[in-house]
Amino acid sequence: MATVTLIEYAEASAPVRAVYDDIMATRKTDWVNNFWKALANHPPTLERTWESVKAVMAPGALDPLTKEMLYLAVSATNGCDYCIASHTAGARKAGMTDEMLGELMAVVGMANETNRLADGYQVEIDDMFKSPGTHAQGGGR
Amino acid sequence: MATVTLIEYAEASAPVRAVYDDIMATRKTDWVNNFWKALANHPPTLERTWESVKAVMAPGALDPLTKEMLYLAVSATNGCDYCIASHTAGARKAGMTDEMLGELMAVVGMANETNRLADGYQVEIDDMFKSPGTHAQGGGR
Amino acid sequence: MATVTLIEYAEASAPVRAVYDDIMATRKTDWVNNFWKALANHPPTLERTWESVKAVMAPGALDPLTKEMLYLAVSATNGCDYCIASHTAGARKAGMTDEMLGELMAVVGMANETNRLADGYQVEIDDMFKSPGTHAQGGGR
Amino acid sequence: MATVTLIEYAEASAPVRAVYDDIMATRKTDWVNNFWKALANHPPTLERTWESVKAVMAPGALDPLTKEMLYLAVSATNGCDYCIASHTAGARKAGMTDEMLGELMAVVGMANETNRLADGYQVEIDDMFKSPGTHAQGGGR
Amino acid sequence: MATVTLIEYAEASAPVRAVYDDIMATRKTDWVNNFWKALANHPPTLERTWESVKAVMAPGALDPLTKEMLYLAVSATNGCDYCIASHTAGARKAGMTDEMLGELMAVVGMANETNRLADGYQVEIDDMFKSPGTHAQGGGR
Amino acid sequence: MATVTLIEYAEASAPVRAVYDDIMATRKTDWVNNFWKALANHPPTLERTWESVKAVMAPGALDPLTKEMLYLAVSATNGCDYCIASHTAGARKAGMTDEMLGELMAVVGMANETNRLADGYQVEIDDMFKSPGTHAQGGGR
């Protein structure tokens, strides 16, 4: 149960409604999910967060599906239930198939395993990996 | 400094050398990075981890570049220095441009921010997001 | 559902009751929350944890409200549902307003974002920040 | 060592210099720390992150010192070396004394301990803590 | 609610049933828990993960009870509800008493506290602790 | 580099020296590691943390080696460099062999992998695992 009251459209102030309207227009949906209704308790955070998410998730050098999958990988690593549910839905809407989800989770699982092994043994970074901004020969994990 | 001795090829047992050879052949490189030299202290873990990584990172429904970027997103979220260095190199080798790295990190940053906001307010999962295995209308974050 | 039986006052041993009594007296309440009823399964942990929390959260160079807000910021970062619920209540009781909660969560969100960006790019620490115990000129993030 | 080249003022583009100038003016310093020089590799992230940090950290219902201490508490919980160094400096500049730092870290330590105990025993949230937006009687941890 | 359909034995393909059969035979039980039914949506991950878990958790230099307790300590630290529930049950089945669970959680709690204190103060590693592969005189925490 | 000055025995106050003396006597060593020298900047935290660690790590239902290994498993999961180095040394001193370290890290790696898979798919907890305080038939992961 949320620690703040979820603010519905009907009770929202004009600035909050403007954000809700933009969320629905941008996503081509007719509803707003609970995350934004919680943030609406602090309008500056609602506005700033939505503007940031909209900018970051827009198509660019990476396509929207790849971005949604990256978002899901981070959310699974952090164990954020809400974010896992919403971004699994978001990635599917953007085209993620069951097979892609299976491979995504396999990568997330392995990365979490090897992250802890590398930390657990305190492995030193190879000199070959220390080349900022260059296309270092490499690929280890 | 690693908490175990890094095992070089020259001192490695035959089974460990076989893994090293497969790593170099699979990656088309002539060196093995420190992570594997640390795992070589426990050959069953070396063999199992390499077989898993090789299988998980092979091309499938997701291409190798996408998989490397997912790996990097998880590593940045966990703050694993070794893994960030090695997978930034790996993703670049697989074709990640500076612009793609910039967008990847922007997504990782936003996901970590909104993960904590969703948790911090204990936001309830919307019913619209509760549809296992279906292509739920959605896309919230 | 807890993995241990919650121990109610009526079934508690004398040493456990003594801790419960001190919790209620210190907090000026007539109930004990579930966290302590779970710890009561291991009395040494119950006693030690309560003594530590009581000492750490007492007024000092930082006032109780600031301490409760710091506790909530950590709990949100760790995604601990129980702790978020209990410390949001605790901070409100200590005087946290809705506006303060909104700003607190905004800081928590930004900190989590920039923590991952700093780690994700493996940014070196500036020399200006390396001055233990001194009032370094600074303020970066 | 950073995985991207740190962009110095002399080599920066006009839009990046504009952000650097605003950072120095806002903070009343004559230098820019490495974090921003790394973000400058992706100007949209530099601009968006700086605007967000500037807005979030400005005085409001919470004063700048409290905000810096919350930032430090999150950074210590995430184990982000860069952020711990920079925000310890930032908090000291904002007025944090050695005694306050000691109490802050004591709270961070206890919160991390009890977060794991509450999760580790899967403690159910008390009904008393389930009252969004109200000033629940409470204060448990 | 899981984001994928849990695959029951009756609807499972032959390769998935083979894994389920091995799980039940290895554990001497007549049921399969939900974790595997979720992984069954991606058979390569089901097979690889089960083979890895079976190998890692088999008796070796460490006995099964110690391994289950280590698994539980990690799961509590990550706040994974499912894993805490299943490995608390698993450790109890392997012989963990209530007293042992109490001491385990006490260690997990203290480790999480001192981990953050060591990180929070950025404590340098003592030279005495830098001796890979040797039995360094030590024991600090 | 630590963000506080490490306090050496020669400069320490009498109460701090008393803790240092007890650390050396308890551990049968003639030196104190940096962690405690950092905590000494806030004597109440030094005293409380040492008393807690001494109590928690004393032999009980779990032997000291098992406790050190649990501490190391948590530290590796949190990626705390200092704690990994000090507790690897501590566990070795308590009798951990190279083979045991290899198996410990294998368990830590797998637990981190399956923790994220269970979270990533939002797997529901089986009813069989919901029996607080009883020796539930189980053992899943």
CB atoms near residue E54 (< 10 Å): 13
Distance CA F41, CA F39 (A): 5
Query: Which pLDDT value is given to residue B132?
Result: 60
Q: In angstroms, what separates the C-alpha of A36 from chain F's closest C-alpha?
A: 22
Contact C114 B117 (CB under 8 A): no
Percent of chain A residues past pLDDT 70, beyond the cut: 92
Lowest mean pLDDT among B93-107, D77-91, E119-133, F33-47: E119-133
Spell out which residues of chain B touch residue D41, defining contact as CB-CB under 8 Å. Answer: 98, 101-102
Q: What percent of chain B lies above the pLDDT cut of 90?
A: 91
- Does pLDDT of F132 surpass 70? no
Task: Report how far apart, in Å, the C-alpha atoms of E62 and of each of A119, E59, F91, F103, F114 are.
Answer: 21, 6, 13, 7, 20
Rg of the Cα atoms in chain F? 19
Measured between CA atoms, the residue of chain E closest to residue B61 is E42
Asked if A117's CB is within 8 angstroms of F113's CB, the reply is: no
The interface predicted TM-score of the complex, written ipTM, equals 0.93
The DSSP call for residue B137 is S
Most distant CA pair in chain D, distance: 59
- Which chains does D contact via 3+ CB–CB distances below 8 A? A, B, C, E, F
In this complex, the residue of F85, F88, F106 whose CB is nearest that of residue B42 is: F106
Per-residue model confidence (pLDDT) at position D130 = 87
| Angle of CA points B114, B118, B120, to nearest 5° | 110
The secondary element (H helix, E strand) that includes residue F6 is none
Coil, strand or helix at B85: helix
User: Would you give the DSSP letter of residue B128?
Assistant: G
The amino acid that residue B18 corresponds to is A
Nearest to F133 by CA among C3, C28, D136: C3
Look at D4 and A44 and tell me if their CB atoms are within 8 Å: no
Picking from A79, A104, A85, A76, the residue whose alpha carbon sits closest to that of residue A34 is A85
Mean pLDDT value across chain A:
94
Q: State the average pLDDT over residues E54-77.
A: 98
Q: Is the pLDDT of residue A136 over 70?
A: no
Identify the pLDDT of residue B42.
98
How does the average pLDDT of chain D come out, rounded? 94
Contact (CB<8Å) E121/F92: no
> Chain D interface, mutation test: which of E108, E110, E112, E114, most D Cβ atoms within 10 Å?
E112
The DSSP annotation for B9-50 comes to GGG--HHHHHHHHHHHHHHT-S---HHHHHHTTSHHHHHHHH
pLDDT for A70 beyond 70: yes
* pLDDT of D136 over the 70 cut: no
DSSP state letters, chain A = --SS----GGG--HHHHHHHHHHHHHHT-S---HHHHHHTTSHHHHHHHHHHHHHHHSSSSS-HHHHHHHHHHHHHHHT-HHHHHHHHHHHHHTT--HHHHHHHHHHHHHHHHHHHHHHHTTPPPPGGG--TTS--S----
Please report the pLDDT score of residue F90 as a whole number. Answer: 97
Is residue E135 scored above 50 in pLDDT? Answer: no
pLDDT of residue C22: 98
Distance CA D85, CA D72 (A): 9
Residues of A with CB under 8 A from a CB of F: 72, 76-77, 79, 81, 84-85, 105, 108-110, 112-117, 119-122
Tens of pLDDT along F77-91? 999 999 999 999 999
Please give the pLDDT value at position A133.
52
Contacts of B82 in chain A (CB under 8 A): 118-119, 123-125
Half-sphere exposure of B88 (CA within 13 A, CB side): 28
Is the pLDDT assigned to residue B140 strictly greater than 80? no
Higher pLDDT, D135 or A130: A130
Percent of chain D with pLDDT strictly greater than 70? 92
Nearest residue of A to residue F103 by CA position? A117
Q: Which of F80, F141, F138 is nearest to F116 (CA)?
A: F141
Q: How far is F139 from chain E (nearest CA, A)?
A: 3
What are the pLDDT digits (tens) for E83-107?
A: 999 999 999 999 999 999 999 999 9
pLDDT (tens digit per residue) in A47-66: 999 999 999 999 999 999 99
Residue F136 has pLDDT above 90, yes or no: no
Q: Specify the pLDDT at position D69.
A: 98
Q: Do B35 and A140 form a contact (C-beta atoms < 8 A)?
A: yes
Among C100, C105, C117, the residue to mutate for chain A (most A Cβ within 10 A): C105
Residue A70 backbone dihedrals phi, psi, to 5 degrees:
-60, -40
In this predicted structure, what is the pLDDT of residue F139?
43
Instruction: State whether C132 and F52 contact (CB < 8 Å).
Output: no
Regions in chain C scoring below 50 on pLDDT = 134-141
Q: Report the percentage of chain F scoring pLDDT > 70.
A: 92
Q: Do B101 and D44 touch (CB under 8 A)?
A: no
Give mean pLDDT, residues D18-44: 97
In tens, the pLDDT along E7-35 reads: 999 999 999 999 999 999 999 999 999 99
Q: What's the rounded Cα separation, in Å, for the pair A9 and A16?
A: 8
Provide the 3-class DSSP secondary structure of residue F138. Answer: coil
Q: Tell me the nearest-neighbour CA distance from C99 into chain F, angstroms.
A: 32
Residue E137 in this model has a pLDDT that exceeds 90? no
A touches which chains (3+ CB pairs under 8 A)? B, C, D, E, F
A138 vs A10, which has greater pLDDT? Answer: A10
Calpha distance D2→D38 (Å, rounded):
8
State yes or no: pLDDT of F133 exceeds 70. no
Q: Which residues of B touch E (CB under 8 A)?
A: 1-6, 41, 44, 48, 52, 55-56, 130, 132-133
D:E CB pairs within 8 Å: 62
**CA distance linking residue B55 with residue B44, whole number of Å:** 17
CB pairs under 8 A between B and E: 30
Q: Which of E34, E68, E114 sits opposite F124 (nearest CB)?
A: E34
Given a contact cutoff of 8 angstroms between Cβ atoms, the answer to whether B34 and A123 are in contact is yes
- Do the chains contact at C125 and D85, CB–CB below 8 Å? yes
- Which of F41, F79, F80 lies nearest to residue D98, judging by beta carbons? F41
Radius of gyration of chain D (CA): 19
CA distance B12 to B9: 5
Residue in this structure with the two tokens 């456990």, named with its chain if needed: C16
- In chain A, whose CA is at the least distance from the CA of C76? A80
For B22-53, how does the pLDDT look when each residue is reduced to its tens digit (9 = 90+)? 999 999 999 999 999 999 999 999 999 999 99
Quick one: average pLDDT of B101-106? 98
D60-114 pLDDT, tens per residue?
A: 999 999 999 999 999 999 999 999 999 999 999 999 999 999 999 999 999 999 9
Q: How close B120 comes to chain F (CA, Å)?
A: 18
| Smallest Cα distance from A11 to chain B, Å | 18
